[in-house]
A and B are shown apart, each in its own frame.
Chain A
């Protein structure tokens, strides 16, 4: 990690740290993963399990007129099938988050009567082997009556457009007007009004290398399902599945160990999990489902595609930004699996990093005949922040100002923190101008003039672009009420339990479902600091199991929150345990008050006479196995459960005003590109990423998140897209056509960090990991800088750059 900031805590400087927090401790998780001993969902097996394969729609939009599974079922080795008709008889439609008209759609685990995108699951077939299940699927006969397909969201509301959901009366799913400040006055006052006809943020996602999957068992005696799965938000899956299956949530046990990447894309597998549950019960055997890569690309969690239309920006001639108006049109795909929450999530970062106070955004979400969208790293904020960053560069370009200066002039200042945005969000801390200086220094900004000249001499175009993001973390789920005032969600929570077992083992259980974020390591660091022991002495259970009672309604790993909610819960539970150890030792030592005791060396002792020492092993043994004679009123179990609940209020639904997230980690990325004007081919020749996520428990893990997010952004900006043809066929259904970056695609990277501790969180931390969208913004800006042409699309493959130059 590059060092150039006074508050940056480098690994080599860890001696200044008093505890384990702040150290780049090597990860506890790694040993098993490096030896091939992780347990991912497809590694879980059961005797006699049946492999599930989905028969999928070849049409983007069609009536299903007939399904015949008899030939498939007659095949030797086939255990059975499930059709949409059966699903409709056995379950209720999934609960809809949306208010009307989206609320009226009827979404089941399999297509019922109609298919709405290519790849939609129509029938499930279960057989003795993976191969047989695939073969048998070929024997399922489905007759379709094709309908015209809707693939462009901009045509969704035109008269005569194909309608996906008759129940909704059209393709409009949700719309809402957001208006804060005094937009009309801002425009009246403005020296200049910059107009931007249309900006387009493209459809892609993070393509975790492990696809979705589950191993589902049904225990007939207690009518309970055990769902081994890599779903990353079991709390959400449970509240979708329970009501649909008409069972209590105690009947749905979610178990996870290792997850092969998530990035938000593994939140909405509840329809497939319902199918597995129904088949486990119907066929009385364990059901194994592992999604194929092509299935994932065709059907899972595409990121929100969004247009910003008729944008107007009010500015002073010196580049001071006053406000903007725009119309955001969001393409939800065929179903609302997590949507229309994207219609409010963006509002967490309404003004981006800037001080403008007058903002109006009309949000419209429509259905199209494409795969359903769901959260993807940077969910909904990435689209909005790309838009605000595009505004900055387009304004600077139009006014002939330096984009660096326009940013610095308009940044929310360090001394304004905590800063209340026009819509009531509170940015907790940060110093954006300092981050920008650091990022520019890292790419050698001062020497760019000479490099531009050099590139020009070589027939190339050099450009530099800045991309900023706010990684808003720890959601206030009350924001969902702006989408639908009837919803009864608000706040947030996470759980941890910490116990001292018989032989003094410190055992931690988390409610989270990590996918590589190193929770076992960072949790151990926090515990070790409180109990004054080594992280090696702290055993953090791998994975999630809802049987452990260590979860709450919002448990999971998503939306940049572990460092706040997860570690907040760990801290709370460990402090409870610490206090109990003090109580117990006080009693054992014959009434010694807590203030006369201290923790040290894996035990507790009397400060004044350190020989009076009770190791944790003795504490655990006394309470668990040798407790006769303890005082009756000694309220100690050494098994502590803590629910961390962030301090939130329910937002004002009428005014769409309130604090929507607790923390605001920030990222500033700078990209330098060199373009060959003859072909449009370009390379990123320098790249810097500066991150501020408050106090870092493990700087190396934080830097790893920064790097990974950067790589995804580079992939999205240059290559990755879920593109459909006019008939609704996905043109990029595998890793041949959907190019994710390889080792050779990676530019030189310099990273930097500053730490602006959050005043609102238990450890001064902020959630982070999603800030990589900054790379998309930076590359758009760099191309604009190099070519002098306005970049209006977030996806800039070489061909588009070439077209820009024509």
Chain B
């Protein structure tokens, strides 16, 4: 099926198998490998992206369902290679270790901060509960998001 999507400002038109997941479309067809796959069941959030401004797990959506949408992925966060305040805060707070969950965490935090620029600790935890991290125990991630919110 023909699919046309705009990802981080660039429009892509591709012929896509109807059952292909959006995450595999992004990673395998568009070579945007920043978003990751950590489970088969929609639990881990490593594949989180924004579709028309809404936070989604891109393994829970077919590529064809995203036809016509505007998608934001981790690759689109920083401009000209400069880290955003959120990315810098992750670096300063040691909010990442292996970095595999990080793109999804950043997208979830981005969605939160757009809606709620000064979230409380509890609001941050709730916003990140769909993202699994096995390295950090979350404490530094929550701190990193909190620091940007202030």
A-side residues, CB < 8 A to B, are 24, 26-27, 29-40, 42-43, 45, 129-131, 206-211, 258-263, 290, 292-294, 515-518, 700-701, 703-704, 707-708, 710-712, 734-736, 740-744, 746, 749
CA distance A517 to B95 in the complex (A): 12
- Of the A-B pairs whose beta carbons lie under 8 Å apart in the complex, a sample of 22, sorted by A's number, is A33-B96, A34-B99, A35-B34, A37-B34, A206-B134, A209-B36, A209-B132, A209-B134, A210-B36, A259-B98, A260-B100, A261-B134, A293-B38, A701-B94, A704-B136, A704-B140, A734-B43, A735-B44, A740-B132, A741-B137, A742-B129, A746-B125
Does A35 lie within 8 Å of B75, measured CB to CB?
yes
A41 to chain B minimum Cβ distance, whole angstroms, is 11
| A516 touching B87 in the complex, CB below 8 Å, given contacts A36-B34, A712-B134 | no
Does A749 lie within 8 Å of B139, measured CB to CB?
yes
| A711 touching B106 in the complex, CB below 8 Å, given contacts A36-B73, A735-B41 | no
CA distance A210 to B36 in the complex (A): 8
Q: Which of A29, A30, A40, A743 contacts B36 (CB 8 A)?
A: A40
Q: Point out the residues of chain B lying under 8 angstroms from A34, CB to CB.
A: 74, 78, 83, 87, 90-91, 96, 99, 102, 106
Q: Mask for B120-142, Cβ within 8 A of A = 1, else 0?
A: 00001110111111111111111
Does B99 lie within 8 Å of A38, measured CB to CB?
yes
Does B134 lie within 8 Å of A734, measured CB to CB?
no
Does A42 lie within 8 Å of B100, measured CB to CB?
no
Q: Point out the residues of chain B lying under 8 angstroms from A743, CB to CB.
A: 124-126, 128-129, 131, 138, 141-142
Does A42 lie within 8 Å of B139, measured CB to CB?
no
CA distance A742 to B97 in the complex (A): 16
Does A708 lie within 8 Å of B134, measured CB to CB?
yes
Does B137 lie within 8 Å of A746, measured CB to CB?
yes
Q: Which of B92, B124, B130 contacts A26 (CB 8 A)?
A: B92
| A31 touching B83 in the complex, CB below 8 Å, given contacts A38-B99, A749-B139 | yes
A85 to chain B minimum Cβ distance, whole angstroms, is 29
B5 at the interface (CB under 8 A from A): no
Does A33 lie within 8 Å of B102, measured CB to CB?
yes
CA distance A736 to B133 in the complex (A): 15
CA distance A37 to B35 in the complex (A): 10
Does B17 lie within 8 Å of A736, measured CB to CB?
no
Does A740 lie within 8 Å of B134, measured CB to CB?
yes
Q: Which of B19, B28, B97 contacts A517 (CB 8 A)?
A: B97
Does A209 lie within 8 Å of B38, measured CB to CB?
yes
Interface size class of B (residues with CB under 8 A): 35 or more
B87 to chain A minimum Cβ distance, whole angstroms, is 4
- Interface centre among B19, B24, B43, by most chain A C-beta atoms within 10 angstroms, is B43
A746 to chain B minimum Cβ distance, whole angstroms, is 5
B33 at the interface (CB under 8 A from A): yes
Q: Point out the residues of chain A lying under 8 angstroms from B31, CB to CB.
A: 45
B-side residues, CB < 8 A to A, are 17, 19-20, 24, 27-28, 31-41, 43-44, 46, 73-75, 77-78, 81, 83, 87, 90-92, 94, 96-103, 106, 124-126, 128-142
| A43 touching B33 in the complex, CB below 8 Å, given contacts A30-B96, A261-B134 | yes
Q: Point out the residues of chain B lying under 8 angstroms from A33, CB to CB.
A: 96, 99, 102
- Measured CB to CB, the nearest residue on chain A to B39 is A293
Does B40 lie within 8 Å of A294, measured CB to CB?
yes
| A746 touching B139 in the complex, CB below 8 Å, given contacts A30-B96, A36-B74, A208-B98 | yes
- Measured CB to CB, the nearest residue on chain B to A36 is B34
Q: Point out the residues of chain A lying under 8 angstroms from B99, CB to CB.
A: 29-30, 32-34, 38, 258, 260, 516
Does A30 lie within 8 Å of B128, measured CB to CB?
no
A29-B99, A206-B134, A515-B98 known; 8 new pairs, CB 8 Å cut-off, are A31-B83, A34-B102, A40-B33, A129-B28, A130-B24, A207-B134, A209-B38, A749-B139
Does B38 lie within 8 Å of A707, measured CB to CB?
no
- Measured CB to CB, the nearest residue on chain A to B43 is A735
A49 to chain B minimum Cβ distance, whole angstroms, is 10
- Measured CB to CB, the nearest residue on chain B to A259 is B98
| A42 touching B33 in the complex, CB below 8 Å, given contacts A261-B98, A294-B40, A735-B41 | yes
Q: Point out the residues of chain A lying under 8 angstroms from B131, CB to CB.
A: 742-743
CA distance A182 to B37 in the complex (A): 54
- Measured CB to CB, the nearest residue on chain A to B17 is A131
Does B103 lie within 8 Å of A36, measured CB to CB?
yes
CA distance A711 to B137 in the complex (A): 5
Q: Point out the residues of chain B lying under 8 angstroms from A701, CB to CB.
A: 94
CA distance A516 to B136 in the complex (A): 10
B58 to chain A minimum Cβ distance, whole angstroms, is 13
B140 to chain A minimum Cβ distance, whole angstroms, is 7
Does B132 lie within 8 Å of A708, measured CB to CB?
no
Does A292 lie within 8 Å of B90, measured CB to CB?
no
CA distance A749 to B138 in the complex (A): 11
Q: Point out the residues of chain B lying under 8 angstroms from A208, CB to CB.
A: 98, 100, 134
CA distance A665 to B64 in the complex (A): 52
CA distance A57 to B131 in the complex (A): 31
CA distance A211 to B46 in the complex (A): 12
CA distance A710 to B133 in the complex (A): 13
B86 to chain A minimum Cβ distance, whole angstroms, is 9
CA distance A558 to B94 in the complex (A): 21
- Interface centre among B94, B97, B106, by most chain A C-beta atoms within 10 angstroms, is B97
Q: Point out the residues of chain A lying under 8 angstroms from B34, CB to CB.
A: 35-37
CA distance A199 to B68 in the complex (A): 59
- Measured CB to CB, the nearest residue on chain B to A290 is B37
Does B91 lie within 8 Å of A31, measured CB to CB?
yes
CA distance A361 to B13 in the complex (A): 66
Does B41 lie within 8 Å of A293, measured CB to CB?
yes
CA distance A735 to B57 in the complex (A): 15
Q: Point out the residues of chain A lying under 8 angstroms from B38, CB to CB.
A: 209-211, 260, 293
A754 to chain B minimum Cβ distance, whole angstroms, is 20
- Measured CB to CB, the nearest residue on chain B to A514 is B98
- Measured CB to CB, the nearest residue on chain B to A39 is B33
Closest 3 pairs (CB-CB, A-B): A36-B34, A33-B99, A711-B137
Does A736 lie within 8 Å of B41, measured CB to CB?
yes
| A744 touching B125 in the complex, CB below 8 Å, given contacts A735-B39, A735-B43 | yes
A498 to chain B minimum Cβ distance, whole angstroms, is 25
Q: Point out the residues of chain B lying under 8 angstroms from A210, CB to CB.
A: 36, 38, 98, 100
| A36 touching B92 in the complex, CB below 8 Å, given contacts A263-B134, A746-B137 | no
CA distance A263 to B35 in the complex (A): 22
CA distance A329 to B27 in the complex (A): 45
CA distance A259 to B36 in the complex (A): 12
CA distance A703 to B95 in the complex (A): 11
Does B17 lie within 8 Å of A708, measured CB to CB?
no
Q: Point out the residues of chain B lying under 8 angstroms from A259, CB to CB.
A: 98
- Measured CB to CB, the nearest residue on chain A to B145 is A743
CA distance A336 to B89 in the complex (A): 44
- Measured CB to CB, the nearest residue on chain A to B97 is A516
Q: Point out the residues of chain B lying under 8 angstroms from A42, CB to CB.
A: 27, 33, 36-37
- Measured CB to CB, the nearest residue on chain B to A734 is B41
Does B74 lie within 8 Å of A708, measured CB to CB?
no
